[in-house]
Amino acid sequence: MGLDCGRLYSKGSNSAGQCGIGSEEYRVTGPRLIRLPPVLDVWFGEGAWFANTTRGLYSWGLNSSYVLGIGEDRRRCAGCIHVLQKIVHSHEFWMARLRDKHAR
């Protein structure tokens, strides 16, 4: 990943959609622009990428254990997903699961 003046570029392995280009192409050679609003910050965790943009939070990559914040636990390769509204749902889901676990 590379960030240049608010534009984000990616290359490398794309086996779980981690390049954010919206295709199932296994490997991305050469930098490719990820289609996002201007990016302010970007971070990575557990095979997933997150970008804070001027229009909210986006996620892409490996979606194990609901990590992308899209309210489902299945592998995706759909490119960047706007998750600003869905993060609240995901947080509430996990907080409810933690309460249930500790109540037992």
Per-residue pLDDT of the chain (104 residues; tens, 9 = 90+): 778 888 999 998 888 888 888 877 888 888 999 999 999 888 887 788 889 888 888 888 888 777 777 777 776 656 788 776 444 445 566 566 667 666 66
pLDDT at 8: 92
Which residue segment(s) compose the domain that 12 sits in? 2-103
Distance in angstroms (rounded) separating the CA atoms of residues 5 and 38: 8
Number of domains present in the structure of the chain: 1
Among 35, 46, 44, 33, which residue's Cα sits nearest to residue 80? Answer: 35
Contacts of 82 (CB under 8 A, 6+ apart): 55, 56, 57, 58
pLDDT at 9: 93
The sign of the torsion formed by the CA atoms of 2, 47, 38, 34 equals positive
Helices (H), 1-104: 86-103
